Structure 1
Amino acid sequence: MSNDYQEIWNKIKQFLQYDEAVDPMIFNNYVKNAYISDINNNHCLIIVDSIFAKEILNKNLKTKIEDILEKINHNKIEVNFIEPSDSKKEKQQKSKENKTDSTINNFFFENFIKGESNNEAYQAALAITIEPGKYWNPLFIYGNSGLGKTHLLHAIENEIIRKNKNKKKTIYLSSEEFGRIVPEILHQNSSNDIEKFKNSFNDYDVLLVDDIQFLANRSKTNEIFFHIFNNFVNKQKQIVITSDKSPDELYGFEERNISRFQSGLSVGIDSPDFETALTILKEKIKSLNYDPTIFTEETLHFIARNFNSDVRKLEGSLNRLIFYSILYLKPNQLMTIEDVMKAFKTNTNLSKEKLTAKKIKKIVAEYYNIPIKILNSSTRVKAITNARHIAMYLIKELLNESFVNIGNEFGGKDHTTVINAYNKIKKNIEQNYEFKKTIEGLRKECTKVTI
C-alpha cells in the first residue's frame, strides 16, 4: 500500500472507529485487516482477507466508506472489496509479520479476571494456544450472555498470533453474520459461489465461532457450516465455539452435529462468584481512572452481591454509581450505602434487609420444601441432611461465621460436623455441574437483597 493510500485508509478507519453506528465486532475483525490497493478513475479497491469479510463489508459498510471517501477526496468514489491474489496474500502476510503489534483488539488472557466461576474455561482456552488443533478440538465454551465467552475467544486469537508470529492464521466468525450471508449466497443459486465461499476458509488454521445458537434450525446454512467444521477437524486445525447453552441443551441441530460439538472438550462459565465480582469492580474502577477511595468496601460488596448475574450488569451498576457521584456528591465525598440506595431508587428488587443465618436457612428450607425447624433436628433422612449441609455451607461462605457458631445455629451441632458438611458440599460443587448451578442459584437468592 502506498503512503498516500495508507494515510487515506487510516482516516477512514478513524471515522469508522468512532462512529457509534459501526459494530465494533465488524471493525475489529474485518476493517482492521483490510487495506486500500488502488484508487483510480473514481474507483477504490479494498483488499480483504476472505470472501466472508467481503460479504460483511459489502453489506454493512460499503456506503459509509464511500461517503467518507467523498469527504476526503471531494468527489464520488465507488468502493469494491476484493480478495487478494496469492501473490498479494504473501505480501500481506509478510507485511503483518513485520508489525510489532498484530493483535486485533484489547481482549487478552492478562486482562481476563479469573475466579471459580470461569477458571475451567480460562485454563482450557489458554491450553489450546500452545499447540492449536492437537488437543480438545473443538473446544466448546458455553454460558449465559455477558460472562466473558467472547473475551476468551479473542484472547485465544491474540495469544495464537503472538506465539506464532502470525504464522498461524485465525478467523473470527460471528454466527449471526454467517447466518445472514450464507442464505444470500444460496439465493444466488450458484454452485461456484458456494464452493468459493467454503474454500475461502482453507487458508486459516484456527476457526473461532461466536454464538453458535444463532445457526439453530437452519438446515442449509448448517450444511455449509459443518462442511467447513469437518474440514478443520480433519486437517487438525483448531476450532473454538461459544454458545449460550451446553451441547446437550442445544436445539435445532441434527444429532450427528451435536455429537461433533461434544467430541472435543466442553467447559461452562457461570455468573461471577462474590470474590470475582469484587475483583472485576475494582479493576473496572482502575481502568476508568476513577478515584477508588470514594467507594467504601461496604458499597462495593453491595454491588458485587446484588448485580453479579453477569459482567455487563456488574459494570452497568458501577457506571450508575459513578454517574450518581458526579451529579450529587462533592469532590472526594465518600459514597455511603444510603447514596447507593438513592442511586438505585427505581430498582424495586433492592432492600435494606440484612442477611442472617436465619434468612439463609429459610431460603434453603423453602427451596427444598421442608420446615425450617427440621434443619435443626438430628434426622438422617438424606434429603434433609443434604439441605442442612447446604445451609451450613452457605452460612460459612456468605457470612464467614465460625464453624462453632454455625453449629450453634443448628441446635448445638459439633463444629467438626459443620466442617465435614462444608467440605462435602464444596467437593460436590467441584464434581457435579448441576449441583453447582443449584448452589449458585441459592447463593443469588440469599444475596440479591443484601447490604
Structure 2
Amino acid sequence: MSRTAESVWNNCLAFIEDNITSQAFKTWFEPIKAVKLTDNALSIQVPSKFFYEWLEEHYVKILKVALTKELGATAKLVYIIRMENTYGNKQPFTEKIPSANRSNLTSQEVDVPLKNKSPELKNPFVIPGIRNVKIESQLNPNYNFESFLEGESNRLARSAGLAVANKPGGTSFNPLLIFGGVGLGKTHLGHAIGVDIKDKYPEKTVLYISAEKFTQQYIESVKKNNRNDFIHFYQIIDVLIVDDIQLLSGKAGTQDVFFHIFNHLHQNGKQVILTSDKAPVDMIDIEQRLLSRFKWGLSAELNHPDYDTRVAIIKNKLYRDGVEMPDDIIEFLANNIKTNIRELEGAIISLIAHSSFNKKEITIELARKIVDNYVKHTKREVSIDYIQKVVSDYFQMDVDTLQSKTRKRHIVQARQLAMFFAKKFTKASLASIGSQIGQRDHATVLHACKTVDNLSSTDKQFRKYVEDLSKKLTL
C-alpha cells in the first residue's frame, strides 16, 4: 500500500497531539499542511518563517520522534514557507528550508531562488533576531495593585482586574476594557494586571503595548512584507494588554489585523485587556465587528476619585516617598485638586520639591501657592457638575430644574447644552453623561449633541448661547 504525504503527516500529528498540550497543538501544528512525500523526505508547508523558527526552537525533538516512527531512521523533513505578498496582487512565493541540523533528522538541501527578500521581522521588539523569541513583557513593575488604591470611582474596574489576574482567560471578563478620562489610572491598572499575572503565572507570555506602537509595528511589517510573521507573533501571546485602543480609529489596515489577532487569542482562551478614553459606544471610526468584540467581556469605567479616595492617594504617595505632611495640608490638596490622579500626584511632587529646594516647611500658604500656580499652568478637565452649574446660572435656573423631566423648551435646550458641553469638555462616556444629567440614557445625549450642532448653524440666538457658554467654560 503506497503512503501519501497526508497519511504520513496525519499519523505524525496523532502522535504529537498525544504528547503536547491541546493549545500548543492548535497553534503550532493544525495550520501545517503536508505537501509531498519523496522517498523518505516529507515536505510540510508552514505559514511563515517565524512559524518555522518557532517549531525548530521548541518542537524539533517531537518532530524527529514522530517522523522517525513513520519513515525510519533515514527520515528527512523539508519546510515550505508560504508568505503572502501584501503588495498588490502579485503571486505568493515559497522558500524551502531543510530541518535544522541540530535534530538528528538528515536534511535535504533545496536551493530555490526567492523573488523577494525573506522576512526580517519576527519578534517586533527584537529586530533583527530570528532566533531570539524571548518576549519581554514591557510592563512597569511600579504600576501594581498595591499602589492602585481602591475607591468608589474605580471599585468595579479594580475588582475585575484582580479577577482577571487570578484567572487570565478563565473569567467572563474577556476582553476587559477599562475606560475613563485622562489621568484616572487606566494605564496603571493595565500594567498592574499584567504584573500580577507574571507573578502568579511566570510561564505565561504577557505583553503590554500601546495602540500607537502596535500600529507602527504593523506598518513596518507591511513595508517589509512580513504581515504574517507580525500576526503569528501576536497570536502566541497569552495575555495581551493594549493601551489607548481608541487610537486605532480610522486605521482600517491596523483594525483588520487586530481583528484577526483578537479572534485567535479569544478563541484559544487567551486574555485580552484594553484601555480607552471612551466607552465602545462612543468610539468613532472603529469597525462594527471590532466594537462588537470589545463588548463581549466587561467594560469598566474609571471615574473621578471622590474626596476619601483622593486623601488615600495623597497619603499613599507620601508614604511611598517617605515624606510626612500635616493632615490639614493633605485635606487642602484633596479639596482643591479633584479632576484626576495624575494632576494630584504632580502637585504633591511640586510641593515636596519646593519645600526641599528652598528649605521651607510645608505650610498651608506654600501649598496654596503651589496649587494655584500648578492649576494655572495645567490644562484642567472640566467636570460635568461644573458644566451643569455654569449652564444653570447662565439660564437663571437651578441644577434640579435643569435635570428635571419637564419638556419646557428653554429647560430642554439648557439640558441639551449641558450634555453637549459635557461631551466636548470631558472624557466621560455618553452613558455616564446621561446618568449625571437627569438620569438619561446615552441615546438622549447623542440626540442632544446633534440638536445643538443643528441649532447652532440655523439659529442665531442659539449660536450666541453656545459661544457665551464656551467662553465661560474655558476661562
- TM-score bracket for the superposition, by shorter chain length: 0.5 to 0.7
TM-score (norm 1): 0.56
Equivalent pairs, count:
287
Q: Which residue of 1 aligns with 2:173?
A: 136
- Asked if 1:121 corresponds to 2:157, the answer is yes
Change (3 A) 1:319 1:218: same
Report which of the two has the higher share of helix. 1
Matches within 5 A, 1:19-38: none
Q: Which residue of 2 aligns with 1:319?
A: 349
Q: Distance in 1 between matches of 2:272 and 2:130?
A: 26
Whether the 8 Å contact between 2:144 and 2:189 is mirrored in structure 1 is yes
Q: Distance in 1 between matches of 2:144 and 2:369?
A: 36
Q: Which residue of 1 aligns with 2:204?
A: 168
Q: Which runs of 5+ in 2 are unaligned?
A: 1-119, 378-385, 412-430, 439-475
Matches within 5 A, 1:145-294: 145-164=182-201, 166-188=202-224, 190=225, 193-290=226-323, 292=324
Code of the residue aligned with 1:316 in structure 2: it is G
Q: Distance in 2 between matches of 1:338 and 1:318?
A: 14
CA drift of 1:340 comes to 2.2
* Secondary structure class of the residue paired with 1:343: helix
Q: Which residue of 1 aligns with 2:89?
A: none
Change (3 A) 1:248 1:52: farther
- Asked if 1:341 corresponds to 2:368, the answer is yes
Q: Distance in 2 between matches of 1:281 and 1:52?
A: 45
Q: Distance in 2 between matches of 1:118 and 1:52?
A: 39
Code of the residue aligned with 2:344 in structure 1: it is L
Matches within 5 A, 1:8-157: 54-56=123-125, 58=127, 80-84=128-132, 105-134=141-170, 135-157=172-194
Whether the 8 Å contact between 1:54 and 1:83 is mirrored in structure 2 is no
Change (3 A) 1:52 1:206: farther
State the percentage of identical aligned residues: 33
* Secondary structure class of the residue paired with 1:160: helix
Q: Distance in 1 between matches of 2:338 and 2:390?
A: 20
Change (3 A) 1:365 1:223: closer
TM-score (norm 2): 0.53
CA drift of 1:228 comes to 0.3
* Secondary structure class of the residue paired with 1:146: coil
Matches within 5 A, 1:355-366: 363=389, 366=392
Whether the 8 Å contact between 1:56 and 1:177 is mirrored in structure 2 is no
CA drift of 1:309 comes to 1.4
CA drift of 1:345 comes to 5.0
Q: Distance in 2 between matches of 1:321 and 1:120?
A: 32
Q: Distance in 2 between matches of 1:52 and 1:288?
A: 42
1:383-405 CA distance string (max 9 Å, x none): 69xx9xxxxxxxxxxxxxxxxxx
Q: Which runs of 5+ in 1 are unaligned?
A: 1-50, 59-79, 97-101, 351-359, 388-431, 440-451
